[in-house]
């Protein structure tokens, strides 16, 4: 296998090998108890916010819809716990923004079982019926994309998909939730793959798993249905292997052109966790009310892979895992691309795959260190998976020449993977500068063509 | 607010400008030690004085303000050591101090300090003294002179603005039959070739040479292995110099030396491994590094063969530095997603 990947050119070009810190990889998924109050924001994903369909004071069952989708690119949200709707009001989210949220007071002794479902025989519905069934689960891209999964499944007809690429790379350090899902819920993943393949007109499916997770590869292979249309490939462990474009490059040696979707090269990428939940929930007509989240970091006393009810307040979860609330940095997602949390009163939402808590005093973020001017060491150029020149981009950003960045140095192709900032010995906050540049450019009126 | 907000990424590779520079300094120490063994206290004094001048200049310009960096980043130390290694061991110390001050002042400070300079500061300093003191810079002394640890080479101690003492006569009075001309000068002006092996190791014979090429290669290899030096540049410089020399050799075997002599003589090894690889003044793009290195290697040979001076490494690297922005512009990395698709069966 190693030789095979070597011969065909060893994964995508460039990239890095940060320390993995995947100490939670061997820890089975365990449940987190209900917080006294759960907060379900109506807007948790790309697309329109959901419309509430419950009233204040109303009793709801675990799994019952609280809000319905508003249009096609929108998903419903469901009650994560049986309880009473206490309020529908503004509540802070992780970024610090306040959004309309449904607050549910959990009933004491609320059951862990799902009390509300609408099972459906999906074998006998047409494609739009299947897409509607996926939409009813309220699933969004769980790898961090938070794009409604059912909407992504509607691929334009002019782009035939020949390969469903299943992303089991989980290349971010610390995170192991996808790993555990592959080990413990391989059957659900296969169900999700079957549904997706049906909607994509039966392409072959390749599950790409980084070679630091041999037990996941084994579990998946054991769960493969007969027929050989689905295969499991062990791919080199390298950041950012889990980026869709990079995995397509590694598995198929196809490069998605700039500004194009992956289906333009015949590939459709879906994350393993998304498929697992789709496979488990859609046939039973259940809502997405909890997910597996890795909680780790050097300030966490009891790290692990937790099954967390959606809407659990971050403060409650930190308390449960034994993490202090002061003098820490809390990150939603992985250490390379995750977002620092501004407000501990924020609830946990659908897009959170990991929660990392670091003691502030040993923060390693580039922005905490003394920075030098670019010494042109070339490390960033050598590492950028998109083949950009972060050194020159950074110098242009410092001079605010944002248009030159976009027009001559392909700023738009940067997907903010963080690799350049990670390697830069001068501690230049490159990605941060690129983010600002993109924001400024977005704010500008379109140039006349 | 008790929670910290930082921008992703939240982790960082274990490296840093200071760490890189410090490692370069460490890797230079064995080379310095051997150099001192070759030339005795004159070499030691030269290293100390030139480096001190660089540090003093750095401190001076930092105090003037509008400079990035600080003394603790070791970059001025590197400039000082490299500059001293490119000068003849018996170079008058006061001239060495001038060279050091000019290296930092004209080579680095006027551009805005670390990271902003266009040319390798050490070579700017050397270029300056080459123009200002053409005789002194061409006056070498043989290595392994008896009494080198107790006695200075007389030119070292020349008083400022005085003509240095004549070292050729001094060398001849200490040791019969040695030549104070460098192997390159002897090839160029007398048609005499030194043995490759002697040049490479600098161990035997009383050659008027600089630091040992073999040791430079070894120390450079260590740096490259640790990831503090890009191997592409020395490979390209030495490769292109060797190729060009090998191509020219059959045309005129009487006059042109063989590739080995070209590689091991003069300052080519030091230039290829430690000067051309200066990060700030070399391209950031991998393809650019190849082009830049190849250009320097070829220019070195061309200048040596056809110029009026026996040595051409310094000018070759300075020209390479000047060409760097242009080289970078035409060697941007290939964009992801624009390569023609070559399907492999997965
Ligand atoms: S953040 Fe952007 S520029 Fe930096 S390495 Fe990633 S893709 Fe390249
Ligand atoms: S890694 Fe940093 S110092 Fe090195 S070239 Fe890139 S931006 Fe410059």
Distances (CA, A) of A96 to A43, A92, A345, B21: 14, 6, 9, 41
Backbone φ and ψ for A168, nearest 5 degrees, come out as -120, 35
- Whether A391 is in the pocket of ligand 2, judged by its Cβ within 6 Å, is yes
**CB distance B167 to B141 below 8 Å:** yes
Residue of A381, A412, A417, A424 for testing the chain B interface, max B β-carbons within 10 Å: A381
**Residue labelled with tokens 């680095």:** B108
Of A256, A284, A312, which residue constitutes the final position of a domain?
A284
Q: What is the pLDDT of residue A68?
A: 92
A212/A194 same-domain check: yes
**CB distance B333 to B285 below 8 Å:** yes
Q: Is residue A124, in this structure, part of any structural domain at all?
A: no
Q: What is the pLDDT of residues A402-417, one digit of tens each?
A: 999 988 899 989 999 9
**CB distance A387 to B335 below 8 Å:** yes
**CB distance B19 to B34 below 8 Å:** no
Outline where A337-401 has alpha helix (H): 379-383, 390-398
State the CATH number of the domain containing residue A398. 1.10.1060.10
User: How many residues does this entry show for chain A?
Assistant: 449
Give the span between the Cα atoms of A398 and A402, in whole angstroms: 9
- Going by pLDDT thresholds of 50, 70 and 90, the confidence category of residue B66 is low
| Chain B environment of A423 (Cβ under 8 Å) | 13, 15
- Going by pLDDT thresholds of 50, 70 and 90, the confidence category of residue B235 is very high
- Whether A418 is in the pocket of ligand 1, judged by its Cβ within 6 Å, is yes
Rounded to the nearest angstrom, the distance between the alpha carbon of A389 and the centre of ligand 2 is 9
A105/A67 same-domain check: yes
B185 C-beta neighbours (distance < 10 Å), count: 20
Give the span between the Cα atoms of B123 and B276, in whole angstroms: 10
**Residue labelled with tokens 């004094």:** B45
DSSP bridge partners of A355: A295, A332
Q: Is residue A183, in this structure, part of any structural domain at all?
A: yes
Q: Is residue A169 annotated as involved in ligand binding?
A: no
Q: What is the pLDDT of residues A157-194, one digit of tens each?
A: 888 999 999 999 999 999 999 999 999 999 999 999 99
Beta carbons within 8 Å of B197's beta carbon, 6+ residues apart: none
- Whether A242 is in the pocket of ligand 2, judged by its Cβ within 6 Å, is no
Q: Is residue A377 annotated as involved in ligand binding?
A: yes
Of A284, A313, A336, which residue constitutes the final position of a domain?
A284
Q: Is residue A276, in this structure, part of any structural domain at all?
A: yes
CA dihedral B157, B159, B160, B161 (to 10 degrees): -120
Predicted model pTM: 0.88
**CB distance B335 to A245 below 8 Å:** no
Distance from CA of B193 to the nearest CA of A (A): 38
ipTM: 0.86
A400/A420 same-domain check: yes
Interchain pair A16, B13: CB under 8 A: yes
Give the span between the Cα atoms of A120 and A69, in whole angstroms: 19
Q: What's the domain count of chain A?
A: 3
A149/A280 same-domain check: yes
Mean residue pLDDT of chain A comes to 89
Backbone φ and ψ for A2, nearest 5 degrees, come out as -55, -45
**Residue labelled with tokens 């960045």:** A405
A270/A187 same-domain check: yes
State the CATH number of the domain containing residue A295. 3.10.20.600
Give the span between the Cα atoms of B269 and A78, in whole angstroms: 70
Q: How far apart are the first and last CA of chain B?
A: 51
Rounded to the nearest angstrom, the distance between the alpha carbon of A33 and the centre of ligand 1 is 39
- pLDDT of B307 > 80? The answer is no
A320 C-beta neighbours (distance < 10 Å), count: 16
Q: Is residue A349, in this structure, part of any structural domain at all?
A: yes
Q: What is the pLDDT of residues B15-38, one digit of tens each?
A: 889 999 999 999 999 999 999 998
- Whether A417 is in the pocket of ligand 1, judged by its Cβ within 6 Å, is yes
The rounded radius of gyration (Å) of the Cα atoms in chain A is 22
**CB distance B202 to B209 below 8 Å:** yes
Dig out the tokens for B245 from the structure: 């020399």
A192/A221 same-domain check: yes
Q: Is residue A447, in this structure, part of any structural domain at all?
A: no
Which member of B3, B335, B344 has the closest CB to residue A344?
B3
Interchain pair A378, B341: CB under 8 A: no
A147/A267 same-domain check: yes
Distance from CA of A155 to the nearest CA of B (A): 20
Give the span between the Cα atoms of A203 and A270, in whole angstroms: 13
Q: What is the pLDDT of residue A269?
A: 94
Q: What is the pLDDT of residues B197-212, one digit of tens each?
A: 778 777 766 777 788 8
The boundaries of the domain holding residue A386 are: 370-442
Give the span between the Cα atoms of B194 and B265, in whole angstroms: 9
Q: Is residue A171 annotated as involved in ligand binding?
A: no
A66/A94 same-domain check: yes
A268/A191 same-domain check: yes
SS3 content of chain A, % helix, strand, coil (to 5): 30, 20, 50
Q: What is the pLDDT of residues B250-280, one digit of tens each?
A: 888 878 888 888 888 888 999 999 999 999 9
The rounded radius of gyration (Å) of the Cα atoms in chain B is 21
Nearest atom in ligand 1 to the alpha carbon of residue A383 is 5
A14/A47 same-domain check: no
**CB distance B30 to B221 below 8 Å:** no
A258/A163 same-domain check: yes
The DSSP annotation for A104-143 comes to EEEPTT--SS--------GGGS-HHHHHHHHHHHT-B-TT
| Chain B environment of A435 (Cβ under 8 Å) | 7
Give the span between the Cα atoms of B32 and B130, in whole angstroms: 22
Of A362, A378, A409, which residue constitutes the final position of a domain?
A362
State the CATH number of the domain containing residue A10. 3.40.50.11540
A382/A399 same-domain check: yes
A-chain residue closest to B284, CA distance? A378
Nearest atom in ligand 1 to the alpha carbon of residue A384 is 5
Q: Is residue A178, in this structure, part of any structural domain at all?
A: yes
Q: Is residue A131, in this structure, part of any structural domain at all?
A: no
Give the span between the Cα atoms of A130 and A149, in whole angstroms: 12
């Amino acid at each position: 296998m190693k030789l095979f990947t070597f011969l065909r050119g060893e994964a995508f070009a460039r990239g890095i090998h940060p320390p993995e810190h995947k100490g939670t990889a061997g820890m089975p998924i365990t449940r987190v108890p209900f917080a006294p109050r759960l907060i379900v924001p109506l807007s948790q994903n790309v697309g329109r916010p959901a419309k509430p369909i419950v009233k204040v004071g109303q009793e709801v069952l675990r799994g019952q819809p609280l809000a319905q989708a508003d249009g096609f690119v929108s998903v419903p949200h469901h009650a994560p716990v049986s309880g009473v709707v206490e309020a529908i009001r503004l509540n802070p989210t992780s970024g610090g923004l306040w959004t309309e949220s449904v607050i549910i007071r959990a009933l004491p002794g609320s059951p862990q079982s799902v009390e509300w479902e609408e099972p459906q025989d999906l074998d006998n519905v047409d494609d739009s019926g299947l897409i509607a069934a996926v939409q009813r689960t309220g699933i969004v891209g769980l790898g961090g994309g938070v794009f409604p999964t059912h909407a992504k499944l509607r691929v334009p007809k002019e782009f035939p998909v020949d390969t469903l690429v299943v992303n089991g790379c989980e290349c971010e350090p610390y995170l192991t939730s996808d790993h555990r899902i592959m080990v413990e819920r391989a059957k659900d993943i296969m169900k999700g793959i079957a549904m997706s393949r049906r909607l994509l007109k039966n392409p072959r499916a390749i599950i790409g798993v980084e070679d630091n997770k041999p037990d996941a590869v084994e579990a998946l292979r054991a769960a493969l249905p007969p027929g050989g249309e689905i295969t499991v490939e062990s791919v080199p462990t390298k950041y950012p292997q889990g980026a869709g474009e990079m995995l397509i490059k590694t598995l198929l040696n196809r490069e998605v052109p700039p500004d194009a979707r992956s289906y333009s090269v015949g590939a459709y990428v879906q994350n393993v966790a998304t498929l697992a939940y789709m496979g488990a929930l859609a046939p039973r007509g259940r809502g997405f009310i909890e997910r597996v989240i890795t909680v780790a970091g050097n300030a966490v006393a009891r790290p692990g892979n937790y099954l967390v009810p959606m809407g659990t307040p971050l403060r409650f979860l930190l308390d449960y895992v034994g993490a202090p609330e002061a003098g820490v940095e809390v990150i939603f997602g992985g250490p390379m691309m995750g977002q620092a949390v501004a407000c501990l009163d924020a609830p946990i939402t659908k897009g959170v795959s990991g929660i990392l808590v670091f003691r502030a005093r040993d923060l390693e973020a580039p922005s905490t260190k003394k920075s030098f001017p670019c010494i042109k060491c070339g490390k960033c150029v050598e590492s950028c998976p998109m083949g950009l020149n972060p050194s020159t981009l950074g110098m242009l950003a410092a001079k605010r020449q944002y248009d030159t960045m976009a027009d001559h140095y392909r700023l738009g192709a940067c997907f903010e993977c963080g690799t350049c900032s990670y390697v830069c010995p001068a501690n230049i906050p490159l990605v941060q500068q690129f983010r600002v540049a993109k924001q400024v450019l977005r704010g500008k009126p379109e140039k006349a063509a | 607010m008790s929670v910290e907000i930082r921008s992703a990424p939240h982790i960082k590779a274990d490296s840093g400008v200071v760490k890189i520079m410090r490692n370069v300094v460490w890797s230079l120490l064995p080379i310095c030690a051997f150099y001192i063994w070759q030339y005795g206290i004159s070499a030691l004094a030269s290293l100390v004085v030139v480096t001190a001048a660089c540090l003093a200049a750095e401190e001076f310009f930092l105090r003037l303000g509008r400079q990035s960096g600080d003394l603790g980043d070791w970059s001025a130390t590197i400039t000082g050591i490299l500059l001293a290694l490119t000068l003849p061991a018996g170079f008058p110390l006061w001239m060495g101090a001038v060279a050091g001050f000019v290296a930092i002042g004209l080579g680095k400070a006027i551009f805005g300090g670390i990271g902003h300079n266009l040319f390798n500061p050490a070579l700017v300093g050397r270029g300056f003294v080459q123009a200002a003191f053409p005789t002194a810079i061409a006056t070498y002394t043989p290595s392994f002179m008896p009494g080198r640890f107790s006695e200075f080479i007389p030119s070292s101690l020349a008083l400022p603005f005085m003509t240095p003492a004549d070292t050729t006569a001094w060398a001849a009075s200490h040791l019969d039959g040695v030549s104070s001309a460098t192997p390159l000068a002897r090839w160029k002006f007398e048609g005499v070739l030194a043995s490759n092996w002697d040049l490479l190791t600098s161990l035997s014979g009383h050659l008027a040479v600089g630091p040992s090429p073999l040791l430079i290669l070894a120390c450079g290899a260590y740096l490259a292995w640790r990831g503090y030096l890009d191997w592409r540049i020395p490979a390209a410089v030495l490769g292109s110099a060797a190729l060009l020399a090998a191509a020219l050799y059959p045309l005129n075997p009487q006059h042109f030396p063989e590739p080995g002599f070209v590689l091991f003589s003069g300052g080519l090894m030091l230039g290829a491994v430690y000067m051309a690889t200066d990060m700030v003044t070399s391209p950031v793009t991998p393809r650019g590094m190849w082009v830049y290195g190849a250009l320097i290697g070829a220019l070195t040979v061309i200048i040596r063969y056809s110029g009026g001076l026996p040595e051409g490494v310094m000018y070759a690297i300075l020209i390479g530095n000047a060409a760097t922005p242009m080289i970078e512009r035409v060697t941007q990395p290939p964009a992801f997603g624009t390569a023609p698709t070559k399907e492999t069966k997965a």
